Amino acid sequence: MDPTDRAELHDRLTLLSDWLSLGSRQERPEPVFEMPDPPREDGPRAGPEWLDAPFTPETLSKVETDVLRCAKCRLALNRKYAVFGEGVLNPPVLVVGEGPGEEEDKQGKPFVGPAGRLLDKMLAAVDLDRTRNCYIANIVKCRPPMNRDPAPDERETCMPYLERQIRFLRPKVILALGRTAAQTLLKTERGVAALRGSFHDRKGVPLLVTYHPSAILRDEALKRPAWEDLKKLRAFLDDGPAT
Ligand code: SF4
């Protein structure tokens, strides 16, 4: 019981006792009920500072805001729009390309030029679609000038954004399009031909490599192996990893 309540109860009981036994109130010393110490305002912390810091959960729109404001590398200088990515939350498939091209830079959306249209057709062939069951993003969020490959330092600077997207989206599988995406995600120097054909473990998420639609537009011979990769992806989604 709270000390204040105890004092009040004690007072009432003694008053009742006095009136019942003596008919009047008797003088008695005041009882002492100890109050607990008030909380210390400036005392030592019970733990490190982060224990008291309010927890702000990561959201995809927070990551997007950071990307749209980002000027951490030289690719910010010539971009029209940073291209964050688009698709559904908790997607079965996260598709990762290398970076925005001219059309993507103009619209601020990933894979909307000729390569994007081919990608949409490739995904549709295995019942995948950015509006239903995919999320599409890139290694770098700003267009490299003249559509050159993003430089290693640009990739390294931008990758934390994709890592944050992956942590938030929690895809079932990642489809890496082309050499730059595959090498950056898997931290390897091996080419697409050597990496495709089987699933890789990327920090606990299965990752499949296939050719970039831009490469397929330049070389039709890549269509067939890319189709084999997509069928493998579909089988994985339907049946789980091959045993
Ligand atoms: S490419 Fe990435 S790191 Fe570089 S400015 Fe754009 S968002 Fe920032």
Give the distance (Å) from ligand 1 centre to CA of residue 161.
9
Domains in the chain: boundaries: 3-52, 60-239
Q: Is the CB of 157 under 6 A from ligand 1?
A: yes
Q: Give the integer Cα–Cα distance in Å for 222 and 201.
A: 24
Residue pair 107/164 in contact (Cβ under 8 Å)? The answer is: no
Residue pair 233/126 in contact (Cβ under 8 Å)? The answer is: yes
Q: Is the CB of 142 under 6 A from ligand 1?
A: yes
Q: Give the integer Cα–Cα distance in Å for 242 and 231.
A: 13
Among the four given CATH numbers 3.90.110.10, 3.30.300.30, 3.40.470.10, 1.10.260.40, the one describing domain 60-239? 3.40.470.10
Q: Is the CB of 96 under 6 A from ligand 1?
A: no
Cα angle vertex 70, ends 68, 72, to 5°?
Answer: 160
Which residue has the least CA distance to atom 4 on ligand 1?
73
Return phi, psi of residue 169, to 5°. Answer: -75, -35
Phi-psi region of 111 (alpha: psi -120 to 50; beta: other; left: phi over 0): left
Out of 63, 79, 140, 159, mutate this one to test ligand 1's pocket (max ligand atoms within 8 Å of CB): namely 140
The pLDDT score that the predictor gives to residue 94 is 98
Beta bridge partners of 176: 96, 209
CA atoms within 13 A on the CB side of 62: 6
Out of 64, 65, 72, 96, mutate this one to test ligand 1's pocket (max ligand atoms within 8 Å of CB): namely 72
Q: Where are the alpha helices (DSSP H) in 69-177?
A: 102-107, 114-124, 152-169
Give the distance (Å) from ligand 1 centre to CA of residue 72.
6
Specify the 3-state DSSP secondary structure of 172.
Answer: coil
Which residue has the least CA distance to atom 6 on ligand 1?
142
Give the distance (Å) from ligand 1 centre to CA of residue 67.
7
Q: What is the mean pLDDT of each run of 10 residues along the chain (243 residues)?
A: 60 64 64 57 62 72 96 97 97 98 97 96 98 98 96 98 96 98 98 96 97 97 98 95 65
The pLDDT score that the predictor gives to residue 29 is 65
Q: Is the CB of 68 under 6 A from ligand 1?
A: no
The pLDDT score that the predictor gives to residue 3 is 53
Instruction: Give residues with Cβ within 8 angstroms of 237, minimum separation 6.
Output: 92, 93, 172, 173
Give the distance (Å) from ligand 1 centre to CA of residue 145.
13
Atom of ligand 1 nearest to the CA of 70: 8
Q: Is the CB of 140 under 6 A from ligand 1?
A: yes
Give the distance (Å) from ligand 1 centre to CA of residue 173.
25
The token pair that represents 91 in the structure block: 């997607």
